[in-house]
Amino acid sequence: MDAGGGRGQEVEVGGRRLLVRNLDKVLWPEDGYTKADLISYYLQVAPVMLPHLRDRPLVLTRYPDGIHGAHFYQKDLPDGTPDWVASVPFLSPSTGRVVRYCLCPDAATLAWLGSQACLEIHPWLSRTSSPSEPDFAVLDIDPAPPAGFAEARRLALALGGLLERLKLSSALKTSGATGLHIYVPLLPGHTYPGVREFVRRVAVLLYRTFPRMVTLERTVRRRAGRVYLDYLQNVRGKTLVAPYGVRPLPGAPVSTPITWQELIRVDPAGFTLSTVPARVRAVGDLFAPALGLGHRLDFALLPIGGLEPGRPASAGLRGRRLASPPATEPADSGPASSRPPFRAAGPGGLQPPGRRIGGHGELEPTASQSAVCGDLQPPPQAGVGPPQAGASPRPGPGGAPPQAAGRRPATQRPAGPD
């Protein structure tokens, strides 16, 4: 019972033995990182990464010839996949084909993904047990050049303040490029359209508060210099790169969980395939809040006067409505044309965009935005915290976040995938 008849070197992981071809192939030419380095990285972060992959269908991107070579998305597992690699079949609604989505419950599978030159692992926002019920709401913060991480950070801080006001815990990570990802853990029973509508409203709120810094534009050329709040990521089958996932960019940056306190001083480019393992050993899993106690989103906007217009089913809760309104069809934001108009209601109602305070900086909010800008400070360790380390001003040896070393040269980094 060897690991197949092909060529390659044996790698043993957790009792599994697999044959890996081209272990010394360089995948990140600028940095010299090889497939062996990738597999080594995966195995080192497996303890904190696996809990975030478990039970979720995975979308993979493969770069068999390195980050500058041709790449492709892979959903259906290829022929030749070892029989011990777990998968879950789903009927693709649009194509009518059965797709066997890869699952990754253990380190051996992670190593195998490395052997396939899977440089990106994108877990669904829902689990195999209820594929249409996301258990995260994701706030995808995408700065459009010349905006960069600094702008994304400002938005994230505002969002963090808002989430704190709404009593929603969250987990924060870098995207690996210049963006940021915030996950809000959800109780069972939410729908994708409902969650999407919630995040859309949050995005609109931020847009009205920071009309010069935020954009909701779908056309990339109209986004220039602003930060795109991509609420449309909350869709079945759409994904974000996994926490601790490496990116196919020079430097091999990693989508790295950070605390709200660290956000102010980190340089996301400092989190890489070579630095993150030590950090993980020092600070543990800073993304744990994403798997912690979940929330329900219906009425979550109530504290800031956001009633749920129309759609009694509210934020897409289905089933187990506690003392909820009468059952109706699941909320559905649908195409913009059929979407119920956003109704600003209640005290401190929302204002249309365009209002801005003359003579003030980019960050200056419009009046009446106390809901969001009342505080621009991060929530105090919202949610769980790891066994201390990165949260203190003087983080442990390995856990020190990369400082933004003074003013960085104008040549940031080529804006990569977020």
Q: Which window, 13-21, 154-162, 286-294, 385-393, contacts DNA (CB under 7 A)?
A: 13-21
Least distance from DNA to the Cβ atom of residue 122, Å? 5
Can you spell out the DSSP letters for 106-164? SHHHHHHHHHTTEEEEEE-SEETTEEEEESEEEEEEEEPTT--HHHHHHHHHHHHHHHH
Select from 37, 120, 133, 142 the one that contacts Mn ion (CB under 5 A). 142
Q: Which is nearer to DNA, 106 or 418 (CB)?
A: 418
| Residue 376's binding partner out of Mn ion, DNA, none, with CB under 5 to 8 Å set by partner kind | none
Select from 134, 179, 316, 386 the one that contacts Mn ion (CB under 5 A). 179
Three-class SS of residue 348? coil
Q: Which window, 103-111, 163-171, 238-246, 276-284, contacts DNA (CB under 7 A)?
A: 238-246
Residues 82-101, one symbol each (x = binds DNA by CB under 7 A, - = not), give ----------xxxx-x-x--
**Cα separation, 57 vs 88, whole angstroms:** 7
Is residue 380 near DNA by the rule CB under 7 A? no
| CB half-sphere exposure, 387, CA atoms < 13 A | 7
Select from 11, 13, 20, 304 the one that contacts DNA (CB under 7 A). 20
| Number of neighbouring beta carbons within 10 Å of residue 146 | 12
Q: What's the angle, vertex CA 52, arms to CA 50 and CA 58, rounded to 5?
A: 90
Q: Which is nearer to DNA, 92 or 388 (CB)?
A: 92
Q: How many chain residues are in contact with Mn ion, going by CB under 5 A?
A: 6
Is residue 374 near DNA by the rule CB under 7 A? no
CB burial of 350-378 (b: ≥16 within 10 Å; e: otherwise) equals beebeeeeeeeeeebbbeebebbbeeeeb
**Cα separation, 243 vs 284, whole angstroms:** 13
| Residue 135's binding partner out of DNA, Mn ion, none, with CB under 5 to 8 Å set by partner kind | none
Select from 30, 47, 73, 307 the one that contacts DNA (CB under 7 A). 73
Sign, Cα dihedral of 250, 253, 255, 261: negative
Taking phi over 0 as left and psi of -120 to 50 as alpha, with beta for the rest, 362 belongs to alpha
By the criterion CB under 7 A, which residues form the site for DNA? 4-8, 19-22, 25, 35, 59, 62, 64, 72-76, 78, 80, 92-95, 97, 99, 115-117, 120, 122, 140, 142, 175, 179, 218-221, 228, 230, 232-233, 235-241, 333-336, 417-418
